Amino acid sequence: MRHVRATFGTRWKMGQRPICALVLALNALGAHASDTQPNREAAVVRFGPTTGLVVESEGAQIDLHGYAWARAQSLTRVSDETDVDFSIPVGRLFTNGHLLDHRLGFFGQVEFAGSSTRLLDLFAEWRFTEAARLRIGQFRTPYSRAFITPLTNLELPSRGLVIDRFGLGRDTGLMLSGDLRSKRFHYDLAIVNGATVNDRNGNRDSPSAIARTEFRFGEVVPYDQAPSLSRQNPLGATIGLGGAFSWRAVKTAAGTTSHEQLGNLAADVAVMWGPTSLRAEGFWRSAHGSPRVANAFGAYGQAGIFVVPRTLEVGGRAGWLSDGPDQQSYEAFLTAYARSGSTSFGHHLKLTLAYRFDTAGPQGIDRRDRHAALVQTQIFF
């Protein structure tokens, strides 16, 4: 007999609001910049469901946005145990913009959903030229194309099994980026402290080096998994290559200290062709002096197509990884994007139906296959 365990309620906790202080400080900077240029126009404030709150003056702009996911999910294991869960897994505010005539950019993002409020991103970026931009702060590391893609612009309700295992996450440090040859070539070079996001007790004496390049053909493929929402008949492709190396001290179960060396390589491809988008990524990780698997591999492929332009999209993703036990993940989705007459709200208001099947190898910790079905709404202003 099937046993069903259901939990209700949202996992939402409002804590301190560091983003408020950030917005006030940025507004003060904008006001100061305006005071030093008496001939410039006064600031203009506007708000819209797809633009968020915008404060703009000549040479400076500050935007404030928010988004949330409301999710209902059913998770079934082969033991006939089913969990039904209603939650708000994501509830975020972020601010971004520029000062000094686009020379100084900034970004800050806070997560309010979950057990505590967390600062996810906070960085400033000085733009020397189109070919050289220097970022300092806490940010998403430039290793995986899927991880660089904003959460709001995903086709599926997560980045998937493979990215969850091989993505390098957020970290604090500096990054040099730029576009060359009319944006046909892009590069990112980062040095981060290796302690990951908000980890005050992490090991900061062993920084990680991360690099990624993109070769672009045709139109530049945006970091948006549904590019035809904002483009008419897009056509372009991107090939990306990435690498990362870290050397850090780790404590063994016996209480001694050893030095772990991790090498990472990644390759990705993204294609947009009218209503169709395709992407795939592959990863390899080598570990020495570490309890991790010596050589781990992972790859996935994902596709989506609009069956009704800018309104209804269907697609799926298949992933595989070998990091100890082999695992596979298969997903399918159908997303409806809200419209008002001839205007599509795109990622700002969408409803996603998704199914996911994960296998577990015989040596896996869980040792059970899992089926998940969910309904999720995204609201983004």
* pLDDT tens, position by position, 9-64: 333 333 334 434 443 444 444 444 444 444 556 789 999 988 999 999 988 999 99
3-class secondary-structure state, position 64: strand
Summarize pLDDT for 71-109 with one digit per residue, the tens.
999 988 766 678 899 999 999 999 999 999 899 999 999
Summarize pLDDT for 225-240 with one digit per residue, the tens.
999 998 888 999 999 9
Tell which phi-psi region holds residue 114, choosing left (phi > 0), alpha (psi between -120 and 50) or beta: left
101 phi, psi to nearest 5 deg: 55, 50
Residues in the chain: 381
3-class secondary-structure state, position 115: coil
Q: Could you give the maximum distance between any two Cα atoms of the chain, in Å?
A: 76
3-class secondary-structure state, position 167: coil
Using CB atoms within 10 Å of the CB of residue 78, give its burial: 0 to 12 exposed, 13 to 18 middle, 19+ buried: exposed
Rounded-to-integer distance, Cα 136 and Cα 139, Å: 8
| Residue at token pair 């904003």 | 150
Rounded-to-integer distance, Cα 270 and Cα 240, Å: 8
Summarize pLDDT for 241-294 with one digit per residue, the tens.
999 998 876 666 666 666 778 899 999 999 999 999 999 999 999 988 777 888
Please give the helix or strand (H or E) that residue 19 lies within, else none: helix 18-35
Mean pLDDT of 365-380: 83
Please give the helix or strand (H or E) that residue 354 lies within, else none: strand 349-358
CA separation, residue 275 to residues 230, 231, 237, 312, 333 (Å) = 11, 10, 14, 10, 16
Tell which phi-psi region holds residue 147, choosing left (phi > 0), alpha (psi between -120 and 50) or beta: alpha
Summarize pLDDT for 156-212 with one digit per residue, the tens.
999 999 999 898 889 999 999 999 999 999 999 999 987 666 555 555 556 899 999
